[in-house]
Structure 1
Amino acid sequence: MGLKTWKKWTDWPLMMLSVMFLVAYSWEILARTHVTLCENVINAIWVAFVIDYAVSLWLADNRWRWFKRNLFALLTIALPMFRPLRLLRLLTVLHVLNRTSGMAVRGRITVYSFGAVTMLMYVGALAVYSVERGAAGSTITDFGTALWWSFVTVTTVGYGDVSPVTFQGKIIAVALMFAGIALIGIVTATLASWIVDQVNLEAGRREDAREKEVAKEAVQAAIATAAATTETASGKTEIELLRDEVRQLTAAVAGLREELERR
């Protein structure tokens, strides 16, 4: 089995595991019930991601090159090992989405980008709310405020009305800033590319219309030339007939003269 085959068979299962991962984490943070069950689900899914990473590295034709190109995947695997930063293991969800978008065309990349931005805001809100609630001096005391802070941070607006006070919260803020800049850049570039393509398409349509008009004019000119040639040919034919008749008349007159002279 090659790496492409492995990815083909694991991309969608990993996507579903990512959704389960997000649901379990959201339930743990927002509902605060069945915490042990949620933790077990999260850890089991994380183990599945570790296995996927190890198998992908083993199946890669050039392991060192694959390793260098998938440092983000390694980051999502290694972060849970650091307990203060364990909340950032939700980056695994983004990693799986990033894998599936690698094969996408521009339209699907656009959907991916907008979806990733939305999910990034939600995940960031969950993470910062988890570490900030109950912290001394914290202004992020409910999930609605966390969502507002996440939106402002990802879009790099930064009103400053609320901000994290814990170390983990500040790390999450930095991660959201960098990710927001990258994803918004993708959306902007995709939109600019679409606009350029639309302009080129319109220019192509105008050029095609102009070529059709030129071709039409050329056909009309050819028809006119052919008609003139036909008329000329017809004219020449009539002249030839007249000349023949004149010759016949001349011959007839000459014959009459000869008969008269004989008499």
Structure 2
Amino acid sequence: MPLSEHSRYTLGNTLGVLKVIAGIVLLFAISWEIIAGDHVHLSRTYLTIQLIVCIVFLCDFFVRWAADPRPGRFFWRNLAFLLISIPWLNILDWSGVRMTHDWGILVGLIPMLRAFLAMVIVVRWLVSGNKMNRIFWAYIFTVVVFTYISALVFYDYEVTVNDKLHGFGNAVWWAWMNVTTVGAEIFAVTAVGKVVTILLPSLGMMFFPIFTTYILQEYAPPKPEKEHK
């Protein structure tokens, strides 16, 4: 029996809350793994948390797929969400594939894409204003989260080989200086670090027009009304 519109709306909100919680948990887990880990091995705790979070994402996909009145269209439209929800890191671990810590972190970041999309729901809940306000806060959220994740990746790959990187605080400072296109005196020495160094200012330049448009709209003097003849 197909669900009513109200039932699908309630189900969507419930799943949305679970996805947000799972996304936050995964972000904390990967942060702890990188900041407090040994940069050589992936801990069993982190692998377990990632598996549980991916199961939550997969359950969300299959429940919404079953509840959708047009399941075929839903599946193909959301196939990318399914692929990034699969616990690839755990599958590789169970298969006995030996990966370096560097590759493990990269594979482990795939579900973070799903977590990021889930946490964008927070913006919709918090902002009830006009469309420009939502775009602005989505911009702030995207920049903050992407910059933080970039700092994590940069720190994990550079901390053991970069003499100028001293602690995670330096990595955060490096990330914010680059996303604002100012630049920092910490230069990447690894291939992944150099890629992130290119992506960060590119993100900043792409999103800066949104900030400018918002400021102009909010603080520009109102246009005088035309006098009727």
- Relative to the length of structure 1, the TM-score reads 0.59
Corresponding residue for 2:182? 157
User: Equivalent of 1:121, from 136, 140, 147?
Assistant: 147
Considering only CA atoms, is the larger Rg found in Structure 1 or Structure 2?
Answer: 1
Q: 2:22 aligns with which of 17, 23, 26?
A: 17
* 1:40 CA drift (Å): 1.3
Higher helix share: 1
- Quote the RMSD (CA, aligned, Å): 3.8
Aligned equivalent of 1:52: 60
Q: Match for residue 7 of structure 1? A: 12
TM-aligned CA deviation for residue 177 of structure 1: 4.3
Residue pair 1:88, 1:127 contacting (<8 A) in 2 also: no
- Aligned partner letter, 2:165: I
Q: CA–CA distance in 1 between the matches of 2:148 and 2:119?
A: 15
Report 1:58-69 matches (<5 A): 59=68, 61=70, 63-64=72-73, 67-68=76-77
Describe the superposition over 1:151-177 as per-residue Cα deviations: whole angstroms up to 9, x where unpaired. 122223334x22333233344445544
What is the TM-score with the length of structure 2 in the denominator?
A: 0.66
Number of the residue aligned with 1:96 = 118
Aligned pair count reads 202
Other structure's SS at 1:126 match: helix
1:21 Cα deviation (Å)? 1.4
Structure 1 residue 194 corresponds to structure 2 residue 218 = yes
The 3-state SS of whatever aligns with 1:199 is coil
Which piece of structure 1 moves more, 3-12 or 122-131? 3-12
1:9-55 CA-partner distances (Å, limit 9, x unpaired): 21122112222112222222223399422331123112322332344
Give ranges in structure 2 of 5+ residues lacking alignment: 93-98
Identity %: 21
Q: Which has the higher contact order (CA 8 A, sep 6+)?
A: 2
**CA distance in 1 between partners of 2:208 and 2:72 (Å):** 31
